[in-house]
Amino acid sequence: MSTDVIIATQALSKHYGKVRAVDGLNLEVRRGEIYGFLGRNGAGKTTTIRMMLGLIRPSAGTVQAFGEPIGSDQEWLRRVGFLVESATAYPNLTVRENLDLQRRLTGAPRTATDAVIERLSLGEYADRRAGRLSLGNKQRLSLARALLHSPELIILDEPANALDPAGIVEIRQLLRELAGAGVTVFMSSHILAEVAQLADRIGIVHNGRLVEEASREVLAGRAREYVQDNFTDAEREQALLTADLERYFLARTGGTDREDH
C-alpha cells in the first residue's frame, strides 16, 4: 500500500445472518484529504467505521491503517481521533475533566486540554457537567475528545449532528484547516449538501456497496443533467450542492432504503 494511503479496506464485508450490512467494500483514503462517505441511513456507513477502528470484526476482508493491518496491537489508535454515532461523555464529569481524562489516555501534553477547549468554543462550559450540556455542546465535546491528541487521521460519523448552522460552519472550517495541515479526515454523512461542500472526494455507499466514487467536482458535473434549464446560474450552483445532488444519488442507488446498520 502506498505511503500516501492512510487507511484502506479490501473486500470488507460484515454480515448479520442474511443481512449484508457491508458487502465487499474497497476504499483508499489518502493523506491530507477530506473523504466524504455518503449514504442514506442504513447504507452501512457506521458498520464500516466500526470495522475500520477494530470495534467489530469483519465477516471477510481486511483493513489497513498507516500501511499495516489493524489487529490486537492498539498502539496505532493513538494516531487516530474518532467520533462514532452519537456524542458520548462521562455525564458526571465536567467538560474539562472529560478532556483531561482523554488527554491522559492518549498521552497528550497538559496544554492540550485548554487548547482544544478554546478551539471548539467550549470555554464557557468547561466547568459544567457533561450531562447538563445541550446536544450541540455534547457534540462539540465529542469532537474535542477526537482532536485532543492532534491525531494524524480523524474518523467522524455524522459530525454535524445536533449542531446549529453557525456550529456547522465552524466545524467545516476546522476540518478544512486540519486537512490543510496534513491531517486525513474521513467523514460519513447522509447530508448531501454538507459533504458536497467539504469533501475532496466522495464515495457513495448503498446497501453496503460502494456504488460511485469521484471528486466533488466530477459528481457535481454529473448531477447537472438533473438541473432544469430554467434555473439561473446562482440557483443552478446551489441546486448542484443540494436537491439535484439528491436526485443524482437517488438515480444511482434506485432510491431504496433498508433497516439501519
CA distance 238 to 241: 5
Q: Is pLDDT of 103 > 90? A: yes
> Which tens digit of pLDDT belongs to each residue from 215-250?
887 876 665 554 444 445 555 555 555 555 666 666
State how far the alpha carbon of 71 is from the alpha carbons of 24, 48, 51, in Å.
19, 16, 11
How does pLDDT run across 79-88, given as a tens digit for each residue? 999 999 777 8
Answer whether residue 133 shows pLDDT above 90: yes
pLDDT at 226: 47
Average pLDDT, the chain: 85
The pLDDT of residue 214 is: 87
Nearest to 182 by CA among 37, 8, 4: 4
pTM for this structure? 0.85
pLDDT at res. 193:
74
Please give the domain boundaries of the chain with CATH numbers for all domains: 5-253 (3.40.50.300)
CA-wise closest residue to 46 among 205, 178, 162, 227: 205
Residues 6+ positions from 57 with CB-CB distance below 8 Å = 51
Q: Does the CA dihedral 57-209-205-25 come out positive or negative?
A: positive
Instruction: Note the pLDDT tens digit of each residue in 33-70.
Output: 999 998 888 899 999 999 999 999 999 999 999 999 98
pLDDT over 70 (residue 92): yes
Q: Is the pLDDT of residue 257 over 80?
A: no
Q: CB-based contacts of 17: which residues, under 8 Å, 6+ apart?
A: none
